[in-house]
Amino acid sequence: MALIGNSFKLHQNNSLSGISRMAQSQSLRVSIHLPKVVAMMNSNTRLERNVTVSVESVVNELNAPTAVEVVDPTSNQHPTAVGGGVEDAYGEDTATDEQFDTPWSVSVASGYSLLRNPRHNKGLAFSEKERDAHYIRGLLPPVVVNQDLQVKKMLANIRQYVVPLHKYQAMMDLQEKNERLFYKLLIENVEEFLPIVYTPTVGEACQKYGSIFKRPQGLFISLKDKGRIVEILKNWPEKDIQVIVVTDGERILGLGDLGCQGMGIPVGKLSLYTALGGIRPSFCLPITIDVGTNNEKLLNDEFYIGLRQKRAKGQEYAELMNEFMSAVKQSYGEKVLVQFEDFANHNAFDLLAKYSSTHLVFNDDIQGTASVVLSGLISALKLVGGSLADHRFLFLGAGEAGTGIAELIALEISKQTKVPLEETRKKVWLVDSKGLIIKSRFDSLQHFKKPWAHEHEPVKELLDAVKTIRPTVLIGSSGAGQTFTKEVIEAMSSLNKKPVILALSNPTSQSECTAEQAYNWSQGRAIFASGSPFAPVEYNGKIYVSGQSNNAYIFPGLGLGLIISGAIHVHDDMLLAASEALAEQVTQEHLDNGLIYPPFTNIRKISAHIAAKVATKAYELGLASRLPQPENLVAYAESCMYSPSYRNYC
């Protein structure tokens, strides 16, 4: 941007003439922000850090020159609210990362448009002074209320709905109208609304996404966009992106191929990144890669919103993903975290292996699930006794989740015992659709299953595998509901005084067994946790409260830790550190109630502790780029967290 006397010109591909015309027809104030943009002064002075330019309007593109105020952010002075800017009371504009060099970002922050901007809208909470300053007097009823009363009102309204999907739609509507109110409601009632904005309700939302679709959230990149992905990323209004959650929709939870309608997953995950991990909403970008779907029902659905073709695969798929990953790094830098979500096995492992050395990537289905399950097992040891190396683990399911958990368990045992990983893997057995994974099946196994092929006679059924392997821990990651039958639970109970049973598949309909079944069939002796939440169970006069092995315990804190340390790669030791940090938050009181995970009510403090442990490991491994290391990483993590409280615009 060049400043000549009191006039200025905008050098930008997209002309602001449209905004100028709008400004002539409405009384608007425009705030123009240039993160780390170099401004050339007429005295040849260069400002190479954040510069904020506030103008009365952009009508001067057509009219007489207008004075321009340049504010140097290196000073302690914050820009006033004259042009729609606000004091950054929480440090959110700079807390979690450096600003990248970005093109212009123009936001209309006054009048009718302000009430339609979810990031800045406060509804009836706008004060009398704000209503005058921002031209919204008369556009709202005269009453002024505070945010707490708004939360109370929304809580009462949403609780009126009986159907979870209706609650989900109400929450999404709120997010699209008033972002801070949405997050305040979610944070203060996380145990109530976590199952609504994420699993299990998000699964049904994805199944019906085409029918309930109202307003686009995130970016949709399809095969038609090949060769133009960098250009498409520029269409997203936020330029400083720190976390991307991306899916191709092929394996949504346990529901299968939902194609383009899988967008509900990235949107839900990133809502949790903000609510539970404190990552600013503007730093988060949900993306769906649409390469078609093999779901005939969707292809014949008139309301389906994606490409109507069979899934691309092979070279065509690989080239699109490679262009996407290159475009992300080119657009947002090497420190942007890309979280792969709900990719099918045949792509998930390959993508993680291919890009883990060149990008900051993380697969929640493989690594996040593994970390949260390992944490639960560490806590369970306090109830059943012994170390991890003293136990035998049997999995039903040998996909991304199953093999990911198995590998992290083996890594932790190897770390504790100094025994080679190849040996510690022998503590873990997996059953897939064809039975126990053994050496005689080696040549026909997919590559990610081969490390788990041990010497043993063929076993077809899970019940027979339980009786033969005699596991102390049974873990379900099959995506197949009701596969932990009464006979299987009774067999586990006959072998163990306190059998550890984890039914991890989502949504609830796909869970291997319910909490009620686990406690009843084990005569109240099971240590049980599930992927989806279950209500407390009464057995023989005692109330059993089961834990939820939910990835939401891990990925928000992990992401925050990667961001505050400026990590450039995700290392397995960071996942182990996250598991140990979560286990440390389980108190004796929780254990006495049979819980192997802490309640979600304190999840932000839990995420801060996880972030600190992950960041510490990043510094130890030499993978951190944000120097020097803060002295108190827990306090630093907490200070970086986004606050949903309203800001004062005057």
pLDDT for the residue 585:
96
176 marked ligand binding residue = no
Q: What is the DSSP letter of 497?
A: S
Paired residues of 219 in beta bridges:
287
| Residue 589 CB contacts under 8 Å (≥ 6 apart), including other chains | none
Shortest CA distance to 369 belongs to which of 217, 553, 100? 553
**Of the residues 183, 198, 209, 597, which is catalytic?**
198
Q: How far apart are CA 119 and CA 512, in angstroms?
A: 41
Q: How far apart are CA 333 and CA 341, in angstroms?
A: 21
H-state helical runs in 278-392 = 296-299, 314-332, 345-355, 369-384
Q: How far apart are CA 468 and CA 457, in angstroms?
A: 10
215 marked ligand binding residue = no
pLDDT for the residue 253:
85
Q: How far apart are CA 161 and CA 173, in angstroms?
A: 14
What's the average pLDDT block by block, 10 residues per block, for the chain (650 residues)? 35 36 40 37 36 37 34 36 32 42 47 93 96 95 97 97 96 96 97 93 92 89 97 95 97 91 96 97 98 96 95 96 98 97 94 96 95 97 96 96 96 96 97 96 95 97 97 95 97 97 91 96 96 91 91 97 97 96 95 91 96 98 96 96 93
Does the annotation mark 183 as catalytic? no
**Of the residues 239, 269, 449, 617, which is catalytic?**
269
Shortest CA distance to 532 belongs to which of 558, 497, 502, 555? 502
Q: In the Cβ-directed half-sphere of 119, how many Cα atoms lie within 13 Å? A: 14
pLDDT for the residue 182:
98
341 marked ligand binding residue = yes
pLDDT for the residue 215:
83
pLDDT for the residue 6:
35
Paired residues of 503 in beta bridges:
476, 530
DSSP-assigned letters across all residues of 389-425: GG--EEEE--SHHHHHHHHHHHHHHHHHH---HHHHG
> pTM for the full model?
0.83
443 marked ligand binding residue = no
Q: How far apart are CA 472 and CA 542, in angstroms?
A: 24
- Pairs from 409-414 (Cβ < 8 Å, separation ≥ 24): 409/370, 409/373, 409/374, 409/377, 411/572, 411/576, 412/374, 412/388, 412/576, 412/579, 413/388, 413/389
| Residue 495 CB contacts under 8 Å (≥ 6 apart), including other chains | 466, 470, 471, 472
Q: How far apart are CA 469 and CA 393, in angstroms?
A: 9
pLDDT for the residue 155:
97
Shortest CA distance to 343 belongs to which of 251, 258, 257? 251
pLDDT for the residue 649:
87
pLDDT for the residue 413:
97
pLDDT for the residue 109:
64
146 marked ligand binding residue = no
365 marked ligand binding residue = yes
Sign of CA dihedral 599, 605, 610, 613: negative
Does the annotation mark 636 as catalytic? no
Answer whether 336's CB lies under 8 Å from 348's CB: no
Q: Report which residue type is found at 29.
A: R
